[in-house]
Structure 1
Amino acid sequence: MFKAQTEKRVAVFFANGLEECEALVLTDLLFRAGVPCDKVSITDNLAVTSSHEVTVVCDRTIADDDFDFDAYDMLVLPGGMPGTKNLRACEPLCDAVRAFATSGRMVAAICAAPSILAELGLLEGRAATSNPNFQHVLAEHGAKVQQGAV
């Protein structure tokens, strides 16, 4: 049974082609820590299929009439392919990520997804890391690529 330990809320965004462990392990850890967290589909369908053909049913979609990015204190982008590309192609999500980051609100990206932050110009001059196959994207957009343990 979930027992909230904070009033802070987290939205984890699910796109077709995501890496399921990067999204589901995170949501499980937040649940266990008592952090309210919604699994949010970037499509108008609650069901999202991972890169390994695992179907996950989300709590809500960004297409919901009452969906509001500002109802959350943190936005999280899991990686995976082509999930990362699908997240990047979602303009409302990218607009919200940019608005959160530029206003100092929390944004996190896992594995390949930091490349989205780099492409949005949010990592310029900042220390960042990603899956090694995407570190060139971070560097090309001005991030100070780090390879230490995170």
Structure 2
Amino acid sequence: MPSINQARIAILATDGFEQSELVQPLEKLKAAGATVEVISIKSGEIKGWDKTDWGDSVPVDKLVSDVTVNDYDALVLPGGQINPDKLRADETAVKFVHDFYNTKKTLAAICHGPWLLVEAGVIKDRDVTSYKSIKTDIVNAGGRWHDEEVVTDQALITSRNPNDLPAFIAKIIEEVEEGRHEKREAA
């Protein structure tokens, strides 16, 4: 089992990410000792959305097109309405999520982040949660939706909204330390 302080974690996001859903995992996972990188479909900085208006910018460490799934022990997908909608329209981002899922390593999505799981075709027959407004999208893609703060299905972690961040981040750390989930079926 890898220790969290040896883990390499990617956060995949672009403009319009929900501020707290990127910043809190970034800060807490780094504080736990993990190496955390923000990867994106654009270089430079990406701008957050903070509840009702634009938030702060975050520097991008690497482009998703320049990394491989083997570079990381976990992948985190923050929500916000704009961010996952832009990412699910980008073939490279969707392929990265799909390929990462197939590594059987920890994959975590919060709020609207599961839209990427739907687009990547990895949600079918999985227990998940999300922001309530995309429940129908999850169900139509074959996922089993639950109204719980954190739902884990063989290292696939999902949460509903920013209020769930403490449980979401704690579960990421726990699942990273458990390692790969070899029983998880590929998509």
TM range, smaller chain:
0.7 to 0.9
TM value normalised by structure 2? 0.70
Percentage of identical aligned residues: 27
Change (3 A) 1:55 1:47: farther
Greater than 4 Å deviation, 4+ residue runs: none
Q: Once the 2 structures are TM-superposed, how far is the Cα of residue 5 of structure 1 from its aligned partner?
A: 5.4
TM-score of the superposition, structure 1-length normalised? 0.86
The size of the alignment, in residue pairs, is 145
Query: In the alignment, which residue of structure 2 is the partner of 1:7?
Result: 6
Structure with more of its chain in helix, by fraction: 2
Residues 123, 40 of structure 1: CA spacing in aligned structure 2 closer, same or farther, 3 A cutoff? same
Matches within 5 A, 1:62-141: 62=63, 67-141=67-141
Q: Is the 8 A contact 1:98 1:122 kept in 2?
A: yes
The counterpart of 1:46, out of the listed 44, 52, 62, is: 44
Letter in 2 for 1:38: E
AA matched with 2:9: V
Quote the residue 1:30 is aligned against: 29
CA distance in 2, matches of 1:80, 1:122: 20
Q: Following TM superposition, by how much is the alpha carbon of 1:59 offset from its aligned partner in structure 2, in angstroms?
A: 4.2
Aligned-residue Cα RMSD (Å) equals 1.9
| Structure 1: segments with no counterpart, 5+ residues | none
Structure 2 alignment gaps of length 5 or more: 151-187
What is the Cα deviation at residue 63 of structure 1? 6.2
Greater fraction strand = 2
